[in-house]
Amino acid sequence: MTQTGLPNVAVSRNLCRVMTSALCVYDITTGETQDILRTDRHIEAPNWTPDNAALIVNADGRLYRVPFDAPALDEIDTGFATQINNDHGVSPDGATLAICDKTHTEGSCIYTLPVGGGAPQRVTKQVPSWFHGWSPDGARMAYAAVRDGTFCICTCASDGSDEQRLTQGFDHTDGPDYTPDGAWIWFNGEERGTSNLYRMRPDGSDLEQMTDDATVDWFPHPSPNGRDLVYLAYPEGTTGHPGGLSVELRLMGLTGGPSRLARTLFGGQGTINVPSWAPEGDRFAFVHYGEHQA
Give residue 161's identity as a one-letter amino acid code.
S
- Residue 259 CA to residue 156 CA, distance in Å, equals 31
Name the 3-class secondary structure at 294: coil
Residue 240 maps to a domain: yes
pLDDT digits (tens, 9 = 90+) for 8-18: 434 344 455 66
Transcribe 96-122 into DSSP letters: EEEEEE-SSSSS-EEEEEETT----EE
Query: Within 10 Å of residue 72's Cβ, how many Cβ atoms?
Result: 10
Cis? peptide before 92, omega within 30° of 0: no
pLDDT of residue 288: 97
pLDDT digits (tens, 9 = 90+) for 222-244: 999 999 999 999 999 999 999 99
* Residues of the chain predicted below pLDDT 50: 2-14
Residue 40 maps to a domain: no
Residue 15 maps to a domain: no
Question: Which helix (H) or strand (E) covers residue 135, if one does?
Answer: none
| Nearest C-alpha neighbor of 274 from the set 58, 25, 106, 73 | 58
- Residue 196 CA to residue 205 CA, distance in Å, equals 18
Intra-chain end-to-end CA distance of the chain, in Å: 31
| Nearest C-alpha neighbor of 275 from the set 38, 108, 56 | 56
Q: List the CATH number of the domain containing 127.
A: 2.120.10.30
Residue 16 maps to a domain: no
Helical residues (DSSP H) of the chain, grouped into ranges: none
What is the extent of the structural domain holding 190?
71-276
Instruction: Give 280's DSSP letter.
Output: T
List the Cα angle 49/53/55 in 5-degree steps: 50
pLDDT digits (tens, 9 = 90+) for 109-155: 999 999 999 999 999 999 999 999 999 999 999 999 999 999 999 99
Contact criterion met (CB below 8 Å) for 56 and 97: yes
The four Cα atoms 95, 101, 103, 107 give a dihedral, to 10 degrees, of 150
Residue 182 maps to a domain: yes
Q: Domain count of the chain?
A: 1
Residue 13 maps to a domain: no
Dihedral (CA of 131, 192, 256, 213) sign:
positive
Name the 3-class secondary structure at 4: coil
Residue 14 CB partners (closer than 8 Å, separation 6+): none
Residue 194 maps to a domain: yes
The four Cα atoms 245, 251, 254, 257 give a dihedral, to 10 degrees, of -100
Query: Within 10 Å of residue 260's Cβ, how many Cβ atoms?
Result: 11
Residue 257 maps to a domain: yes
- Residue 187 CA to residue 73 CA, distance in Å, equals 30
